[in-house]
Amino acid sequence: MSTTNPIVNPNPKRILVLGATSGIAEACIRIWAARGDSLFLVGRNPDRLAAVAADARTRGAAFVDTTVANLDDTATHPELLAHAINALGGLDIAYLALGVLGEQPKAEKSFAEAAQIIHTNYTAPVSLLTWLANYTAQRHSGTLAVLTSVAGERGRKSNYVYGSSKAALSVFVDGLRNRIDREGVRVMTIKPGPVKTAMTEGMGLKASMLADVDVVAQTLVKAIDKGTDIVYVPWKWEIIMGIIKLIPERLFKKMNL
């Protein structure tokens, strides 16, 4: 389903959002919709996806279309991506927000749980990015914006399975940027610290630790417009993780983080 917005935006961006029901993605979608961009939204929960799309139309998106898909199913990616880009009439920005925190205690006992976390957070994005990188590099344009995490900066006992999947994704994205930036494609490694979304509910973090999702989205939309290579959001997490990485391993291994 699509809508046409009579409000003038002479150059609406054509944006593909993968994992569009994510709290961080939804907040970005609200901003993109309000400025009249065109959106193709992919998510696995049909009701929530429909609600996000309806909200984007109400806010003024130039065009909104959706596909319900479980992005763990990598075999469907080429057809899904081609369909989305065809519907948008091209691609300016692909925004990868899918991710699962998983259950660290379960993953310590069950390889199946660890493999699921790694598949959703690393293998599925690699499949999406492989197709998207070749599409954008051939056309010498586009931005690939990928949500990894500060959790990937150093392994900690509380979430090293999730953290390692995000570390792997960060390195993949960094390498992809080294490959195709020279082709005219901006590739962005986005590293949020803790943000108040469904993912951090129930983690027992103090409210003061959690960034506001709308503030984070404002930072990200601006950074995506600029095509900044690596974005820590909020910015203080670059300093915090810089310090955490400096702690000698002989001390770090005894800490409860």
Ligand X SMILES: NC(=O)c1ccc[n+]([C@@H]2O[C@H](COP(=O)([O-])OP(=O)(O)OC[C@H]3O[C@@H](n4cnc5c(N)ncnc54)[C@H](OP(=O)(O)O)[C@@H]3O)[C@@H](O)[C@H]2O)c1
Contact residues toward ligand X (CB under 6 A) are: 19, 21-24, 43-45, 70-72, 97-100, 120, 147, 149, 192, 194-195, 197-200
Burial class (CB in 10 A: 0-12, 13-18, 19+), 119: middle
Q: Which is nearer to ligand X, 21 or 38 (CB)?
A: 21
Comparing CB distances to ligand X, the nearer of 44 and 83 is: 44
d(CA 229, CA 120): 23
Closest CB to ligand X among residues 12, 99: 99
Which residues, listed in sequence order, are joined to residue 15 by a DSSP beta bridge?
A: 39, 93
Q: Which is nearer to ligand X, 61 or 190 (CB)?
A: 190
Residue 251 Cβ, how far from ligand X at the closest point, in Å?
Answer: 25
CB of 256 to ligand X, least distance (A): 20
Please pick, among 95, 135, 160, 162, the residue that the annotation labels catalytic: 162
Tokens of 140: 């010498």
Q: To the nearest whole angstrom, how small is the minimum distance from the Cβ of residue 136 to ligand X?
A: 20
Is 122 tagged catalytic? no
Amino acid at 165: S
Side-by-side strand order, sheet with 93-96: 63-68, 38-43, 14-18, 93-96, 143-147, 186-192, 230-233
As measured in angstroms, the least distance from the Cβ of 7 to ligand X is 27
Which has the closest alpha carbon to 3: 56, 57, 46? 57
Cα 177 from Cα 169, distance rounded (Å)? 12
Q: Which residue number is nearest to ligand X in terms of Cβ?
A: 99
Catalytic residues: 162
